[in-house]
Amino acid sequence: MAESQNSEALIIKRNDWRESDSRVVLYTKKFGKLSLVARGSKKFKSKIAGHIEPINLVDMMILKGKAFDYLGSAINKKAYLNIKADLNALYFVGSALALFDSLVKEEAPDEELYNFLISWLDLVEERFAPDLDKDNGELLYNYFAIRLLTILGYKPELRYCLDCHKVIKPGNNYLNLRLGGLICGDCLKVNQQKYLPNEILQISDDCIKLLRIFSEKEAYQTIKVGPALIRELSRLVKSLIDFSS
Residues 136 and 70 in one domain: no
Range of the domain at 119: 86-154+215-244
Average pLDDT score over the chain: 93
Looking at the structure, do residues 8 and 108 belong to the same domain, yes or no? no
Please check whether residue 203 lies inside any domain of the structure: no
In a domain, 190, yes or no: no
pLDDT for the residue 112: 96
| Phi, psi values for residue 82, rounded to 5° | -65, -40
The Cα–Cα gap between 232 and 19 comes to: 46
Residue 178 covered by a domain: no
Average pLDDT estimate for 48-71:
92
Instruction: Examine the pLDDT at 2 and tell me if it is beyond 60.
Output: no
Residue type for position 121: L
pLDDT in tens, 61-73: 999 888 889 999 9
- Are 118 and 233 in a shared domain? yes
Both 144 and 222 in a single domain?
yes
For the whole model, what pTM was predicted?
A: 0.94
Residue 222: pLDDT band with limits 50, 70, 90? confident
Domain boundary among 47, 78, 109: 78
- First-to-last alpha carbon distance for the chain, in angstroms, is 29
Instruction: Evaluate if residue 12 carries a pLDDT over 80.
Output: yes
> Can you tell me the mean pLDDT for 193-220?
92
Q: What SS3 state is found at 10?
A: strand
Q: Judge if 11 and 92 occupy the same domain.
A: no
Q: What pLDDT digit, counting tens, does each position of 140-158 carry?
A: 999 999 999 999 999 999 9
Tell me, yes or no, whether 90 and 55 share the same domain. no
91 and 12 within one domain: no
Q: Is residue 208 part of a domain?
A: no
Q: Is 73 helix (H, G, I), strand (E, B) or coil?
A: strand
Checking if the pLDDT of 44 tops 60, the result is: yes
Average pLDDT over residues 111-128: 97
Whether residue 184 is predicted with pLDDT greater than 80 in this model: the reply is yes
Alpha helices in 86-204 (DSSP H): 87-103, 111-123, 134-151, 185-190
Residue 73: give its domain's CATH number: 2.40.50.140
pLDDT band, residue 43 (cuts 50/70/90): confident
**Could you read off the pLDDT of 22-35 as tens digits, one per residue?**
999 999 999 999 99
Q: Are residues 63 and 129 in the same domain?
A: no
Domain boundary among 78, 104, 124: 78
In 117-143, which positions are buried (b, 16+ CB within 10 angstroms) versus exposed (e)?
A: bbebbebbbeebbeebeeebbbbbbbb
229 in the same domain as 123: yes
Number of domains in the chain: 2
Domain co-membership, 14 together with 95: no
Domain annotation covers residue 162 = no
Phi, psi of 77 (to 5 degrees): -105, -35
Estimate to the nearest angstrom the gap between the alpha carbon of 147 and the chain centroid: 8
Q: Which residues pair with 167 in a beta bridge?
A: 160
Residue 149 and residue 100 in one domain: yes
| E strand or H helix at 35 | strand 32-38
Query: Predicted confidence band at 14 (pLDDT cuts at 50, 70, 90)?
Result: very high
One domain for residues 95 and 127: yes
- End-of-domain residue from the set 34, 60, 78: 78
Whether 204 maps to a domain, the answer reads no
Instruction: Write down the pLDDT at residue 180.
Output: 92
